[in-house]
Copies of this chain bind each other. A is one copy, B any other.
């Protein structure tokens, strides 16, 4: 019998995208979807795109937990801890789309998010889950912290170099650009069409909450403290993240050596594509898929290595990665429900 799966916060962008994936997942059945704002309505009343695909009525969080063996929660930070505890208690897999379980350091969490860890045992249980980097841990996980979109793009982009000790982990610049779905469904002046269309600029310069998360995962990969300058920008497209990363090599590498390092590192991965030398990653090639594309560009003139890493912020950067994590933790095929061929246009 199909595994019963529920989604808390199903009318947010990430939640809706999980629904969309699970509707075509061969191993699971949608048990319940919840929403605070739209409880009692059908999902297809909120999103007419879902008509005929998912006409389920939106219930409350409690009902989701009750009916599900796997629970995805897409909530504002601070709200996941209680639900996580309930899931763990009943033996359901809990996958948190938010930031509540991502940071190991409670101090960092307090500083960047302004909350505290009420149940430390729960936090010790949480697995920070980028499958390509932490697969074995994820297979055994009961509580999954699904990573942020920017951190995923940066960690996948730098892992081969950091693990091989080929770059200085303390001298990194990440210039990242995200499509507007990254800002969510909530209204704001910045995401009002006439303010956002034909516009472009950075935001939260060197002050974005993903900074400590990125440094945490890069430090783990480097085996030593990493320090970055991180500047995100808002891009007038719906989907996609691209990180242009500037690193300083610890030793000279040819383009070919660089490329081989990456090809070798990701040789068994089906969702990471290392592009041919000479090509540049572009978010259009990964949109609506679970791929992360990486292109490599040594700058011998200036003594830097440039890595460009791109993914769909809603899929490999959120819902897709969450389903991949579920697949691992539940023992399904890792690609189940994720065999999406990106449309070229």
Number of interface residues of A (CB under 8 A): 87
**A295 vs B198: C-alpha distance when bound (angstroms):** 19
A223 close to B (CB within 8 Å): no
Question: Residue-by-residue, is A179-199 near B (CB-CB < 8 Å gives 1, otherwise 0)?
Answer: 111000101110111111111
Q: A201 and B281: CB pair below 8 A?
A: yes
Question: Residue-by-residue, is A44-80 near B (CB-CB < 8 Å gives 1, otherwise 0)?
Answer: 0001111111100000000000000000000000000
Instruction: Give the residues in chain B near A197, CB-CB below 8 Å.
Output: 180, 193, 197, 236-238
Q: A227 and B345: CB pair below 8 A?
A: no
Residue in B199, B301, B343 whose CB lies within 8 Å of A17: B343
Instruction: Give the residues in chain B near A286, CB-CB below 8 Å.
Output: 49
List 28 A-B pairs, Cβ < 8 Å.
A13-B194, A48-B285, A49-B284, A49-B343, A49-B344, A51-B273, A51-B275, A53-B342, A173-B246, A175-B244, A177-B233, A180-B197, A181-B194, A185-B192, A187-B187, A191-B193, A191-B194, A192-B193, A193-B197, A193-B236, A197-B236, A200-B242, A200-B284, A206-B297, A206-B298, A229-B246, A229-B301, A236-B237
Instruction: Kindly list 15 other residue pairs between chains A and B, CB separation below 8 angstroms, not including A193-B196, A193-B236.
Output: A23-B341, A24-B341, A48-B275, A48-B285, A51-B273, A51-B275, A180-B194, A181-B345, A185-B194, A198-B240, A198-B284, A198-B287, A200-B240, A228-B302, A231-B306
List A residues at the B interface (Cβ < 8 Å). 13, 16-17, 20, 23-24, 47-54, 173, 175, 177, 179-181, 185, 187-189, 191-203, 205-206, 211, 227-229, 231, 233, 235-240, 242, 244, 246, 270, 273, 275, 279-289, 291, 293, 295, 297-299, 301-302, 304, 306, 308, 310, 314, 339, 341-345
Kindly list the 10 A-B residue pairs having the minimum CB-CB distance in the complex, ordered from nearest.
A201-B282, A199-B284, A206-B299, A175-B175, A194-B345, A205-B297, A187-B187, A49-B285, A229-B302, A180-B193
